[in-house]
Amino acid sequence: MSGIVMSYQFGTNWSTFADKAGPIVGPLMGYEVLSAFFLEAGFLGIMLFGFNRVGPKLHLFATAMVAFGTLFSTFWILSVNSWMQTPAGFAINDAGQFVPDDWWAIVFTPSFPYRLVHMVLAAYLTTAFVVGGVGAWHLLKNSRDRGARIMFSMAMWMAIVVTRLQIVAGDLHGLNTLEHQPAKIAAMEGHYETESGAPLYLFGIPDDEAGELHYSIGIPNLGSFILTHDWDGAVKGLDAFPEDQRPPAAWVFWSFRIMVAFGLAMVGVGLWSLIQRRRRQLYDDTWLKRAAVAMAPSGFVAVLAGWVTTEVGRQPYTVYGLLTTADSASAVGAPAVATSLVAFILVYFTLFGAGTVYILRLMAKPPEAGESDRPEGPTRSAGLTPAASVAPDKVFPAE
């Protein structure tokens, strides 16, 4: 549903951006609709309701098409976002529009591969920790539950493998950002002043007005080492950029730290599970299971924090260095924007609230053996939520 909203919000709230960047961003979004949305929405019906109508092989095919649809969607959306972060392959015409010059360069901008890999891995990790958390929850109640064991074990394998890849991807992405968006890195690191042998700040309170990081705690020279792979390398601070080209540092600084902290916690849980697996105590370590339950939402938090880092870090631009956010907006009156924003917040909170309640109820039910070859009907219900495997009145007898 959010796809529909997005394809209209570019015009309602960001019409100047739509006019100027439309010739480039529009076709990429168009490809997303054609290659991803239709695939996903078209086969979703068969995936959810078609089990008795198409046979298992075609049903598997439909399910795979839904998965491919989401993956294609990620590809195009991140292509758009990467172009906005590190624009390339364009010219500017008389009407002030960005016009395409080289589509290859537009789709595959310098930051695109890093962003795509980082985001896809993040999505897998998010899923792994949700599945692992639900599995752990049921294991805490009954450590013999076979389905829960499978959930927990597979999720922990995923956590071990993917967190490692993610650290590498995140580091490469950071270096790429340093090359193309140094002001963002300066804000992420809390560096107000350009210096050699810059410390890695663990904590601090950024103050844009004073231009310094209060109460900072840092490890000397480590910042330079990570960013330049040289203990005394020079790192640009925010002072290297004109004041009107700096992102608001506090948001970027803190959201980045939240993302990294959750990422490290995921690494920790992964390693812990590996140790217990070697000792053949994977299903018996109560504290590990509790930690996995606590970490279930961690992927969502980390992903959100990461997006805040990258989007706020891009400020004050929508198209980096070329089109400011202020110049991108529609000439819509503030009351109209405020009203629609409040309406969206109310509707989304109501629906996400209800959705969360229904999802948590589903998660409260242990997985059943042989669930997947159950004959009655849909194994999963549309879009947001995994459906009950049996009639809802058997699942929620309390109601």
Partner 1 sequence: MIDPATIWAALIAVAVLAYILLDGFDLGIGILYPLVKSEQDRDIMMNSVAPVWDGNETWLILGGGGLFAVFPLAYATILPALYAPLTAMLLALVFRGAAFEFRWRSKRHKHFWSAAFAGGSILAAFAQGVALGALVQGIEVANRSYAGGWFDWLTVFSVMTGCALVVGDALLGATWMVMKTEGHPRQQAVRLAWVFGALTLAAIGSVSLWTPLLNDAYLARWFDWPNLVLSGVMPLLVLGCAALLARGLQRGPDALPFLAANGLFVLCYIGIGISFYPYIVPHSVTIWNGAAPDSSLWFLLAGTAVLLPMILGYTAYVYWVFRGKVDPNEGYH
- Between residue 147 and residue 206, which ones bind partner 1 under the rule CB under 8 A? none
DSSP-H helix ranges across 86-145: 103-107, 112-141
CB of 160 to partner 1, least distance (A): 34
CB of 180 to partner 1, least distance (A): 24
DSSP 8-state assignment for residue 330 = -
Residues in region 321-350 near partner 1 by CB under 8 A = 330-333, 336, 340, 343-344, 347-348
Of 333 and 370, the one with the shorter C-beta distance to partner 1 is: 333
- Pick the stretch among 6-14, 127-135, 137-145, 249-257 that binds partner 1 (CB under 8 A): 6-14
Q: What's the distance, Cα to Cα, between the start and end of the chain in Å?
A: 28
356 binds partner 1 (CB under 8 A): no
3-state secondary structure of 100: strand
Figure out which of the listed residues 279, 384, 386, 394 binds partner 1, where binding follows CB under 8 A.
384
Figure out which of the listed residues 60, 275, 304, 391 binds partner 1, where binding follows CB under 8 A.
391
Of 203 and 348, the one with the shorter C-beta distance to partner 1 is: 348
Of 24 and 178, the one with the shorter C-beta distance to partner 1 is: 24
- Pick the stretch among 174-182, 241-249, 295-303, 391-399 that binds partner 1 (CB under 8 A): 391-399
Contact 158, 135 (CB under 8 A): no
R_g (Cα) of the chain, nearest Å: 24
Complete DSSP assignment for 254-292: HHHHHHHHHHHHHHHHHHHHHHHHHTT-TTT-HHHHHHH
CB of 370 to partner 1, least distance (A): 21
12-15 long-range contacts, Cβ below 8 Å, gap at least 24?
A: 12/330, 12/332, 12/340, 13/329, 13/330, 13/332, 13/337, 13/340, 14/318, 14/328, 14/329, 14/330, 15/329, 15/330, 15/331, 15/332
Residues in region 81-100 near partner 1 by CB under 8 A = 93, 95, 97, 99-100
24 binds partner 1 (CB under 8 A): yes
The owner of tokens 């009407």 is: 95
CB of 51 to partner 1, least distance (A): 10
